[in-house]
Chains A and B, each alone.
Chain A
Amino acid sequence: MKYSKEFRDPQVAARFLEILAAAAARLDGVKTLMEVCGTHTMAIHRHGIRSLLPTKIRLISGPGCPVCVTPVDFVDKAVALSRLPDVIIATFGDMVRVPGSTTSLLKEKAQGIDLRIVYSPADAVALAARNPSRRVVFLGVGFETTAPTVAASILQAEKSWLENYFVLCAHKTIPEAMALLGEDPEIPIDGYLCPAHVSAVIGTRAYASLATEHAIPCVVTGFEPLDILQGVALLVHQILDGRAEVENQYSRFVRREGNPKAMEILHRVFEPCDARWRGLGTIPGSGLRIREEFAAFDIEKRLTIAAEPAREPSGCCCGEVLKGKIAPRDCPLFGTLCTPEEPVGACMVSNEGACAAAYRYGA
Chain B
Amino acid sequence: MKSDVVLLGHGSGGKLSHQLLDEIIIPHLSGISLKNQNDSAVLPFRGERLAFTTDSYVVDPIFFAGGNIGDLAVNGTVNDLAMAGARPVALSVGLILEEGLPLRDLETIVRSMRKAADRAGIAIVTGDTKVVTRGGADKIFINTSGIGVFDHPHSVAGDGARVGDRILINGPVGDHGIAILAGREGLELGNDIHTDSAPLNGLVADLLREWGEAVHVLRDPTRGGVATTLKEIARQSAVDILLEENAIPVRPSVEGACAILGLDPLYVANEGKVLVFVEGKAASGVLDLLRGHPLGREAAMIGEVTSGAVAGGKVYLRTAIGGKRIIDMLSGEQLPRIC
The interface of chain A, by Cβ under 8 A from chain B, is 1, 4, 8-10, 13-14, 17, 37-39, 45-52, 64-67, 92-97, 99, 103-104, 106-107, 109-111, 117, 119, 141-143, 145-146, 197-198, 225-226, 229, 339-344, 350-352, 356, 359-363
Contact = CB atoms under 8 A, between A and B. Distances in A.
B127 interface: no
A106 B7 CA distance: 8
B338 A111 contact: no
Contacts of A13: 320-322
B19 interface: yes
Given A47-B325, A48-B317, A342-B3, 5 more contacts: A4-B255, A47-B319, A109-B8, A351-B337, A361-B326
Nearest to B254: A1
Given A119-B185, A339-B331, A48 B323 contact: yes
Contact of B339 (A39, A49, A225): A39
Interface string B42-53: 000000000000
B264 interface: yes
B252 interface: yes
Contact of A47 (B262, B323, B339): B323
24 contacts: A9-B320, A9-B321, A37-B339, A39-B337, A47-B320, A47-B323, A48-B322, A48-B324, A92-B336, A95-B338, A106-B8, A107-B7, A117-B336, A119-B336, A198-B339, A340-B15, A341-B9, A341-B19, A342-B1, A343-B1, A351-B334, A360-B331, A362-B325, A363-B325
A94 B337 contact: yes
Given A106-B7, A341-B16, A96 B323 contact: no
Q: Which of A46, A48, A65: most chain B Cβ within 10 A?
A: A48
Contact of A107 (B3, B259, B325, B334): B3
Q: Which of B16, B319, B320, B321: most chain A Cβ within 10 A?
A: B321
B339 A66 contact: yes
Q: Which of A143, A341, A363: most chain B Cβ within 10 A?
A: A341
B2 interface: yes
A250 B334 CA distance: 28
A10 B321 contact: yes
Chain B: interface size category: 35 or more
Contacts of A344: 1
A361 B326 CA distance: 5
B321 A93 contact: no
Nearest to B6: A110
B328 interface: yes
B241 to A, nearest CB: 14
Contacts of A104: 1
Given A48-B319, A119-B187, A352 B339 contact: yes
Contact of A361 (B5, B325, B332): B325
A46 B339 contact: no
A145 B338 CA distance: 9
B125 interface: no
Contacts of A4: 252, 255-256, 259
A135 B36 CA distance: 50
A174 B318 CA distance: 33
Contacts of B325: 45-48, 51, 361-363
Contacts of A92: 336-338
B126 interface: no
Contacts of B252: 1, 4
Interface string B183-220: 00101000000000000000000000000000000000
Contacts of A46: 264, 319, 325
A14 B320 CA distance: 11
Given A48-B323, A51-B325, A340-B332, A93 B338 contact: yes
Interface string B246-288: 1000001001100101101000000000000000000000000
Contacts of B339: 37-39, 64-66, 142-143, 145-146, 197-198, 352
Q: Is the interface of B mostly helix, strand, loop or mixed?
A: loop
Q: Which of B2, B335, B336, B338: most chain A Cβ within 10 A?
A: B338
Contact of B321 (A8, A94, A97, A119): A8
B26 to A, nearest CB: 18
Nearest to B267: A360
B175 to A, nearest CB: 15
A94 B335 contact: yes
A66 B321 CA distance: 28
Interface string B8-19: 110000011001
B338 A67 contact: yes
Contacts of B7: 106-107, 110
Nearest to B258: A1
A343 B321 CA distance: 31
B264 A1 contact: no
Interface in B292-339: 317-326, 328, 331-332, 334-339
A344 B319 CA distance: 30
Contacts of B8: 106, 109-110
Contacts of B185: 119
Contacts of A351: 262, 334-335, 337
A47 B321 contact: yes
Nearest to A100: B1
A10 B38 CA distance: 37
A10 B322 CA distance: 7
B326 A362 contact: yes
A225 B319 contact: yes
A341 B252 CA distance: 31
A341 B15 contact: yes
A225 B321 contact: yes
A255 B162 CA distance: 53
A278 B185 CA distance: 31
Nearest to A1: B256
Given A142-B339, A197-B339, A226 B262 contact: no
Given A95-B338, A351-B262, A352-B339, A111 B5 contact: yes
Q: Which of A1, A67, A141, A339: most chain B Cβ within 10 A?
A: A1
B268 to A, nearest CB: 14
A99 B337 contact: no
A47 B185 CA distance: 28
Contacts of A198: 339
B15 A93 contact: no
B246 to A, nearest CB: 7
